Chain A
Amino acid sequence: MTATPAKPAERLPRTLGLWSSVALVVGITIGSGIFRSPAGIAQRVPHPTVMLLLWGLGGAITMCGALSLGELAAALPETGGLYAYLREGWGRMPAFLFGWSELVLIRANALGGIAVVFGEYLLRSLGVDPVDHWVAARCLSGGAIAFAAVANVRGANIGAFIVGIATWAKFAALLVLSLSAFLLGAGRGATVANLTTGTGAPLVLGSMGLALVSILWAYDGWADLTFASGEVKDPQRNLPRAIILGTLAIIVIYALTNVAYLYVNPIGTVAQSRLVAADTMLVLFGRAGVVLVSVFVMISSFSSLNGSMLASPRVFFAMADDGLFFETIAKASTRSASPRFIGCGACGPISLVLIARSATRWCRPSS
């Protein structure tokens, strides 16, 4: 890899410190996946011990990626992250295809899917059925995307502030859920036997591989901080630390949460539960627990949406700076020092179309 000369336009100020960066990693990664994906994973892997081992394996693979990327991020702390590494390592065309995938597939699906989850859970937390009021749910989803876009256009600090608050809230929520399960579960039917007793259905290697993909989807987001590398203070020191610390925190909280789910619910119940966190809280706290978890899923989804919106348009900014995207995108706002047309100029319209078409019916559940 060759050393990159200083960009002629280092227009985005370095405002993100270590803990803001860690919060960004955690905030983007913990979305709706940990609340939704265990059901699909349990259907593919009908044995709790194997399921937990797969979550551990997913965490180990993610950590391998985090360690690798941490080194790259320290060597090349540029806005665009993975795009910049691909450009330096493989050339403009592969880098463009990565940015293209971000635009038409990865980010659009993620933003649309996460926003849909946010809208539905916001209504559910208010006691309104999102299925009966799907127009309102979609409007709220579109509003969430617009709000996150405006907050991030105003500057990375505002976006990072929102992510920071919401991140610690949902991290605490998962911790409370796990600790509540371990402290209160025994009196409400939870048993350690749930962690070792399968349904008796056979384990299939291919299905386990697909389950692992779902697990990695829940872990997805750990690399997104690199997109905003150009805005991290002291990047050689803070970027690798933030990626590794953030990923480690996610691995620990995911492990605790999955053990808590399986301690309270038999794996057959987890497999049938579209919202396993709600069912766990229902066992522990009754209906109030369901409302509480709905609020937290909503916060979690919005935080993930906002973090994704904060990080990903930096890829298009870097592409435009290289002449691989529309030049207007490369212009930073002089007032906020944030890339113009963030979200609303790139991912926003696609995400809104996805929402209008009820994208989550054919997209994978978002993390």
Chain B
Amino acid sequence: MVPAIFVIAVAGFVLNSLVHDPVPTGITFALILAGVPVYYIAFGARGARR
């Protein structure tokens, strides 16, 4: 129950930020997603060492 409250609340903040403050929130998402190609090009091909 407690984790669910936290997840729902945080998801609400993200949605609210997207609606009311879209440019900085969009830039933030773009920077995070820029990590996807970095992952596949630089590190994704390596197997887990553990």
Contacts and interface: CB of A to CB of B under 8 A. Distances in A.
* Interface of chain A, main secondary structure: helix
Contacts, number: 79
A210 interface: yes
A100 B32 contact: yes
A64 B19 CA distance: 25
B30 to A, nearest CB: 11
Contacts of A143: none
B22 to A, nearest CB: 12
Contact of A61 (B6, B28, B43): B6
Interface string A60-102: 0100110110000000000000000000000011001100110
Q: How many B residues are at the interface, by size bracket?
A: 20 to 34
B8 to A, nearest CB: 10
Nearest to B5: A64
Contact of B44 (A8, A93, A105, A216): A93
A140 to B, nearest CB: 28
Contacts of B10: 61, 65
Interface of A: 4-5, 7-8, 61, 64-65, 67-68, 92-93, 96-97, 100-101, 104-105, 206-207, 209-210, 212-213, 216, 321-325
16 contacts: A61-B9, A64-B9, A65-B10, A68-B3, A97-B36, A97-B39, A206-B20, A209-B12, A210-B21, A212-B13, A213-B16, A216-B13, A321-B50, A322-B48, A323-B49, A324-B39
